[in-house]
């Protein structure tokens, strides 16, 4: 599993909607920073800060060729997050299973408490 700092960086990077949109666009294939920035109404230096955060988290890699910087998704950075989600899912499924068993036990106990006991004599049948 990824170390906690790396995991924090991935989640922090994905916390921003602009960065999530960049990641989703890169799922379709690599793109230049200009292509990535085009749909956003922000100055290029501001957009580059988003790219920088994504690079620091390991989600995006970029390389410059001449005047063009091309970005590509680095999905290996998500492996640590995926492992963390799987661990959390296992924990919560176990908790929910225990909770379900507890609720079923309570239902059985309530049903048993509502049933008349077989040893109790019915009214009017006393001799």
100 or 126, which is more confident = 100
pLDDT at 59: 95
- Mean pLDDT of the 101-117 span: 88
Angle of helix 77-114 relative to helix 4-14, nearest 10 degrees? 90
Rounded distance, CA 43 to CA 116, Å? 77
What is the set of domains in the chain, with CATH numbers? Answer: 1-74 (1.10.10.10)
pLDDT digits (tens, 9 = 90+) for 23-40: 999 999 999 999 999 999
78 or 23, which is more confident = 23
CA-wise closest residue to 1 among 26, 24, 10:
10
Q: How confident is the model at residue 71 (pLDDT cuts 50, 70, 90)?
A: very high
pLDDT digits (tens, 9 = 90+) for 7-21: 999 999 999 999 999
Four-residue CA torsion sign, 112, 115, 121, 123: positive
Residues 6 or more apart whose Cβ sits within 8 Å of residue 44: 33, 37
């Amino acid at each position: 599993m990824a170390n906690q700092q790396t995991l924090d960086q991935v989640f922090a990077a994905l916390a921003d909607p602009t960065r999530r949109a960049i990641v989703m666009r890169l799922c379709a294939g690599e793109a230049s920073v200009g292509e990535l920035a085009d749909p956003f109404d922000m100055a290029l230096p501001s957009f580059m800060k988003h790219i920088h955060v994504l690079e620091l988290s390991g989600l995006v890699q970029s390389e410059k060729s001449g005047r063009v910087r091309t970005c590509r998704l680095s999905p290996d950075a998500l492996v640590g997050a995926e492992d963390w989600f799987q661990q959390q899912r296992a924990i919560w499924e176990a908790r929910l299973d225990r909770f379900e068993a507890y609720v079923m036990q309570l239902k059985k106990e309530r049903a048993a408490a509502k049933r008349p006991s077989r040893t109790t004599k019915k009214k009017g049948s006393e001799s």
